[in-house]
Amino acid sequence: MSDGASQQPKAISIWWWAFGYFAAYAPYSALTKALSDGKLGTAVPGNTILPASTFASFVAMVIFMFATGWWKSATKKKLGSREIPFPTKWTALSGLCGATILTTTTLAYTIKGVSIVFMMLLLRGGMLALAPIVDRMTGRKVQLISWIATGLTLSALVVGVLGRDESYALPIVAIVDVTAYLIAYFIRLRFMSKLAKSDSVEVTRRYFVEEQLVSTPAALIGLGVLAIIGGPFQQFREGFTQLPFTPQVWWAVLIGTLSQGTGIFGALVLLDKSENSYSVPVNRASSLLAGVVATLSLWLLGVGRSLDWSEAIGAGLVISAIGVLSIPALLKKKQPVA
């Protein structure tokens, strides 16, 4: 007779989730930039891309939940004679933060005059600064290796900012976007640290599923409300009423599907039981490396610029951070089996 522990799902290495995050993020960011800049036909504004891409993200989320069977891990509530998956108030709030992150991330790569890598450095650098703060607030010990990796990745941010050829002034939309993104992540990391980072794979998976059940639907509903209001939100309305009848919609659908991939794998990296000062650099380094690959891919295809010297140095620092973070896993593999 097997005990409960033996029936627990086996934990998957954070590095597999990080690879999935990288693999989805590189084409997602490249396609978003290319579509909004008119490199894939008619240029489509970021606000117009969002409705179709978010709907595609929703469909991808539903398919993933049923294909893996993970939806069964969610808290259940009775609805008549049936039980349905239902989030708690805390996972619902975390899901709303996820909806904010979903929309602000896509918009970040459509802002004119600001490169993919530079926006990534702002978003990722800000989140790296939050990680040790959240760890201290939740009483988690921060390993020396995590401090080193955080320092290397923050150094990439500093180099990227100081080496920027353009003015340091950012468009107001970029400032609002980055601020909303970081506030949402701060709240989300707090909830993850308290409620989901656990030795129990089932506890972590329950939190992940319930958050996913809220984030994409909430983003889609929010976009629908803005589209109904119209006026200054006219581009959102066009995303619902005009884009679906153009050839460009299929690029938006692919962007949304890849975006959901980043949401799934990125969340699973952050939900690893290690402290935030370890899991956040793994998450951020993966996406920054993906941004570099996206930028170089667009350049090689002749539809974008290459990296400048500061972005290249920043990329090197990020790769160094990944190397530092991988040391514990490599040492573990070398340990003799008892």
Flag whether pLDDT at 142 surpasses 60: yes
Is residue 335 domain-resident? no
Instruction: Check pLDDT > 90 for residue 106.
Output: no
- Domain range for 236 is 12-326
Cβ neighbour number for residue 41 with a 10 Å cutoff: 12
Of the two residues 39 and 161, the one the predictor is more confident about is 39
Domain count, the chain: 1
333 inside domain? no
In this predicted model, which residue has the larger pLDDT, 168 or 258? 258
pLDDT interval class at 228 (50, 70, 90): very high
224 is a domain residue:
yes
Q: Sorting pLDDT into bands at 50, 70 and 90, what band is 97?
A: very high
Cα-based torsion angle of the residue sequence 282, 283, 289, 290 in order, rounded to the nearest 10 degrees: 150
Phi and psi at residue 78, in whole multiples of 5°?
A: -75, 130
Span 76-94, pLDDT tens digits:
888 777 888 888 889 999 9
Q: Is the pLDDT of residue 10 over 70?
A: no
Residues written for the chain:
338
- The answer to whether position 171 is within a domain reads yes
- Reference 311, options 122, 146, 90, 143; nearest CA is 122
d(CA 257, CA 35): 15
**284: which 2 tokens?**
């951020």
d(CA 41, CA 39): 6
Q: Is residue 332 in some structural domain?
A: no
Q: Which residue has the tokens 């239902």?
A: 86
pLDDT at 79: 78
Residue 1 has pLDDT above 50, yes or no: no
Here the contacts of 300-305 (C-beta below 8 Å, separation 24 or greater) are 303/34, 303/37, 303/39, 304/33, 304/34, 304/37, 304/39, 305/115
Residue 98: which of 177, 189, 174 has the closest Cα? Answer: 189
Q: Which residues contact 103 (CB under 8 A, 6 or more apart)?
A: 50, 54, 219, 222, 223
Q: What's the pLDDT at 6?
A: 46
Q: For residue 303, how many other CB atoms are within 10 A of its CB?
A: 15
Kindly tell me the burial class for residue 163, based on how many C-beta atoms sit within 10 Å of its own C-beta (0-12, 13-18, 19 or more): middle
CB of 21 within 8 A of CB of 13?
Answer: no
Binned at pLDDT 50, 70 and 90, residue 154 comes out as confident
Interstrand relation of 82-85 and 76-79 (parallel, antiparallel or unpaired): antiparallel
Q: Which of 145-149, 209-213, 289-293 has the lowest mean pLDDT?
A: 145-149
Angle (CA) 269 61 67, round 5°: 95
**pTM of the predicted protein model:** 0.78
Question: In 3D, which of 186, 216, 191 has the Cα closest to residue 204?
Answer: 191
**In-domain check, residue 334:** no
Q: What is the pLDDT of residues 253-277, one digit of tens each?
A: 999 999 999 989 999 998 888 888 7
**Domain-embedded: residue 1:** no
Residue 215 forms part of a structural domain: yes
